[in-house]
Structure 1
């Protein structure tokens, strides 16, 4: 038959001396915490705790003992715990160190950065670190792609076809609708100005060149970045949190070959096709608005379109699509692999992937514009 341990107790023998006894455990601690809150001593004195009569001691009792020592310390009262069994003293030391570490971390997190230069430096260092990690990720993807070229059987074509459907075919309605509306808006905004000068027919130049060179590839890339890029980051991030990626490495499956390369190949195929689809719908929307606002017939519109919009303008817009595709997939997968911790990290990395992908797409489009202007294209 087990003999129950005595409840934890603490008694004052002298104004500066306490005797702790009983079971200082989760089951035996009882109401002693309320008694400890009432304990006090003159400031500048030392409180001696005789712990020789403590029969059992666990992390709960150690935490309460450490809490008492910390509270009296804030009141400028020293605490001297004597005659505690060596194994109990070791546990008290570990709990005290962990409590101090957590308190220090919380205090550090709570202090706001007052110096803007320090904040700028931290942000710059973090951006540089992330940029270097992204370059490393691109290098790993390039090596994995090289292995697949050397051994084509390593590439999972069924996964490629699935990503073509999810990122391409399923995105056609939203891409087509927004491109059609954008063509209408461009023609409508230019209609009033062109009508004043009797230059109605030049709406064809406005719609054709703006849609084929700039708006169609850019709006398509932004839509796909928000739709598919975020999905890639969320998918890989969830797998990272649930340790599925670690399980792949354990059984000998390369995560890049299974999760990244099929997405890159699929996006390099579908984004140019979606851009062509956006070109057609955008020009069609502009043609409808030109007929309604400027009395430019469909025949006149198409005749002028064939004469003024060159194949070069079409190829310029189409040539941007593969670059945008590589940016979207690389950023989305990269942020997914950087996910760690809990589910909240998945949402955070997904948001970053969308923001960074759209930002880099716009930057790339600006660089294209500068380069084409320098080349007189």
Structure 2
């Protein structure tokens, strides 16, 4: 059996030393010997590998490092040793090791082109996903027994009922903030009583349903993407297709319907709680009795403000459900994709909700519901 790695320093006859290596220089045998070789501080003019009986890449790297550190030459290397030394040869470089960057006039168009390509692919994917949903709806209409009513009820509970505490707390605080800050500004004109108008109209038309949509996107939209994405990674979605179950019918439709059905209820609930919050701050800080505040809401807030919020709510729910389910169905590869797609679902849903809300604002102004 070959001996382990050995070394010795011999006089080279010219005032220097020759480092003679022998034995097996392998990754499995080099541990302590490598530390001893690193501790050599005597001048070395040559590293002799003639006595090395076995060597691998780690052994060649050790020999090459020694030679470079002492400014020595490597002698006596056999053919295998020479190949490995060439492979691990350490070259000194005076320049940067970073790759060359393209000029800015090439980088910018390239980046913009990549973004546009991804955008077009995403749009094509969304259109295809919408097509799958339409086909699934048609299939369920033709075969009503295939619709999963229990799954819909479960998703309605998760999207709506479970969200009541956090949506209620958020809306109550928003109502307090609107009333308090609005009263401070209106007091400059002696119009504190118009705080009722401000709270009632802004919560029913805008903030009630908009803030609820943002909350549902962060809470339920992310859950849709994470749940479906995890099922794709664990191949549950593929298993459903294998046994003849449509994942769109079983997973996507109940979640989208739950979002569409529960958003109007959550929006109305949020608006009512926000008005109550405004009434509380009116009682405490503005001297407006609580019941009078609520009574005046009926007089100063037109009924179409309620319909504005109720019309927007299911559209926002549809956007949230589509974004969450679509991003979940796009997960593939590894678990990192779940987090990435979940983030994209929340961001895209909130962005689209705000954009659509802006379009609704212009539309309702044009038809006289302002």
The TM-score, its normalising length taken from structure 1, stands at 0.74
User: 1:337 & 1:235 partners in 2: Cα distance?
Assistant: 10
Q: Which secondary structure state, in structure 2, belongs to the residue aligned with residue 205 of structure 1? A: helix
Aligned equivalent of 2:251, options 249, 259, 267: 259
Confirm or deny: 8 A CA contact 1:195 1:294 kept in the other structure. Answer: no
Aligned equivalent of 2:327, options 335, 341, 345: 335
User: 1:330 & 1:165 partners in 2: Cα distance?
Assistant: 18
Residues 220-369 of structure 1 correspond to what in structure 2 (within 5 A)? 220-369=212-361
1:177 match: 169
Aligned equivalent of 1:32, options 56, 64, 72: 56
1:54 match: none
Structure 1 residues 30 and 342: alpha-carbon distance in aligned structure 2, compared to 1, 3 A threshold: farther
Q: Which secondary structure state, in structure 2, belongs to the residue aligned with residue 339 of structure 1? A: coil
Gaps of 5+ in 1: 8-23, 41-48, 52-63, 76-106
User: 2:317 & 2:158 partners in 1: Cα distance?
Assistant: 14
User: 2:168 & 2:90 partners in 1: Cα distance?
Assistant: 69
2:122 match: 130
Confirm or deny: 8 A CA contact 1:191 1:293 kept in the other structure. Answer: no
1:33 Cα shift? 2.7
User: 1:211 & 1:129 partners in 2: Cα distance?
Assistant: 38
CA deviations 1:74-111 (Å, max 9, x no partner) are 89xxxxxxxxxxxxxxxxxxxxxxxxxxxxxxx99x96
Q: Which secondary structure state, in structure 2, belongs to the residue aligned with residue 341 of structure 1? A: coil
2:192 match: 200
User: 1:141 & 1:113 partners in 2: Cα distance?
Assistant: 45
The TM-score, its normalising length taken from structure 2, stands at 0.75
User: 2:57 & 2:190 partners in 1: Cα distance?
Assistant: 89
1:299 Cα shift? 3.5
- How many residues get paired? 310
Larger Rg: 2
Residues 141-152 of structure 1 correspond to what in structure 2 (within 5 A)? 141-152=133-144
Structure 1 residues 68 and 328: alpha-carbon distance in aligned structure 2, compared to 1, 3 A threshold: farther
1:289 Cα shift? 1.1
Q: Which secondary structure state, in structure 1, belongs to the residue aligned with residue 162 of structure 2? A: helix
